[in-house]
Structure 1
Amino acid sequence: MRFNPKARLDTSRVSDRGRGGGGGGGFGGGGMQIPIPTGTKAGGGIGAVIVVILLIVLTQCVGDSTGGFTLPDDSLDASRVSSDDTGRYDSCRTGEDANNDPDCARVAVENSLTSYWSQALRQQGESFHPEQQLVTFTGSVSTACGAATADVGPFYCPADEVIYLDTTFFPEVLQQGLGGPSGDFVEPYVLAHEYGHHIQNLLGTMGRVRTQQGPTSDAVRLELQADCYAGIWAGKATTTTDELGEPLLVDITEDDMAQAVAAAKSVGDDRIQQQSGQQVNPEGWTHGSAEQRQRWFLTGVQQGTLEACDTFSASQL
């Protein structure tokens, strides 16, 4: 993956709260906790974290007995997103910075995701606004979906429309705990998956979630669709531009795509169950198998349309 050195980076939506960052508000103090498989820091990282958010959305944040997705009237108030920024991204100004600094690469990926989805949704007559922030933190963070620790892994909170990321997740959980890949395109796949949840939020897809476990459950369909949306962006990322029309990414290689596929494989429900010493039990799935996650990501790459990612209408996942 290579960024255009001439591209200008927009850091206005990317911030860092440091260790134990606060802000964000909350709903009744309900913490976000997940079972931690033996030998790993978190119960599945991106594979498990969204089920936590999903359960909170369907209970605390939603409060709708039908399972429909509704938010409090003040849920998108920007004041609820902490402004206690450590300045971690202040030096990220150009694509050249992104080529030399993983923090600046994170900014460039966020910019690329916003560039792509702003055009894609508007071309289809859908309204779009970017996520309020991509927030990195260390240790713990307070969000509108409750308090989260580093154990939770990367997640999107629909109540404040913020993507939260503890960057230690990649070496300590994805690679060490789950045997996932390393490489420059692993984190972009994760961010693209979480941004996919933001797109689902904007399109109202989260309101279709009724069943939360099982191989054909709505929760699995939601997650596989987010993988597919990540693939759409990955396949078209080199078409994205900065605010002046300068390309953001100039090259995504076959090796980059292979890293994303390997990351998707490592967070399949069956793989996580095996890594934690459990029997493979499809009835406990919330995100889909390793094979499904890889296949739906590649469906997004190869077909590149929202229609191709309609997992809710798919007869076979």
Structure 2
Amino acid sequence: MIAAASRGAASVQEKQMGNPLILVVGSTGTVGSELVKQLIEAGQNVRALARDPGKAVKTAAGTDVAIGDLSRPETLREAFVGVEKAFVLAPPVPDMEQLEANAFAAAEQAGVRHIVYLSNFGAGRFDDALFRAHGANEWRLRSLGMEWTILRPTRFMSNTPFGWASVRENGRLVEPLGGRKTILIDPRDIAAVAVKALTEPGHEGKIYELTGEALSGAEMAERLSEALARPIEFVDASEDVTRSDLLRSGLPSMIVDKVLYYFETLRADRWYETPTVRQLLDRSPGTYAEWLKENTGSTTR
């Protein structure tokens, strides 16, 4: 069932009229909610897919809301009716690959012309279930008879730090970096790239590796100190200490394992910077200090 929400001012309606309908799958998530916002601001014709009607209406004010569950393919058919372009992502859960595959199948059946897929920087390269699932769905998407664009972002600034327990308890940022730098990206920059891929020609058949700012542990701690107005010390900790911090921060064991695998790949120098965000957006990527200034209150609660 699709419930319509207010479309905002008449000027926005006029802009939307001649634009193709874009469906955002994962519209209540970190990137998806920002993408909905930016698409509406750009005057695009947007429909937001969500499982929870309450969250969807709150997140996607000013657009249509489609209620559907990626684990129940029969609920997706109506959501894709009339859709020309779609943005697809699913949460990092054990059945993520199947959830996204269900979205691709619904898009194919509905005749969607172009899918922008939010993958991961290590998709198909790193030996972990999450990265393998992303890699498998990249190949699945590329085998369909439609245009595609794949986005491969690095670590979100919203996931920095992964665990807040030690920061709150004793002013320590605990991560096993092994002297390496973490390459971060502002989720708003990912959304901005997705807007371009969905609304401008020339992005079809492209894979974009998206990176922002590279920071050492000490530099991250310095930014946190400024944002929190109290001293934060970086500790290049062992995996056991980091695991304890992550669990105390409330992360599920499955996610903790994936975070620790991420740090393993980081220490093995398997991450690198790209100029893609700067080239696509014609500006510098957002910085961690800027992101913290605008988001620290909600992140540390």
What TM-score do you get using the length of structure 2 for normalisation? 0.28
Q: Which has the higher contact order (CA 8 A, sep 6+)?
A: 1
Rg larger in structure = 2
TM-score (norm 1): 0.27
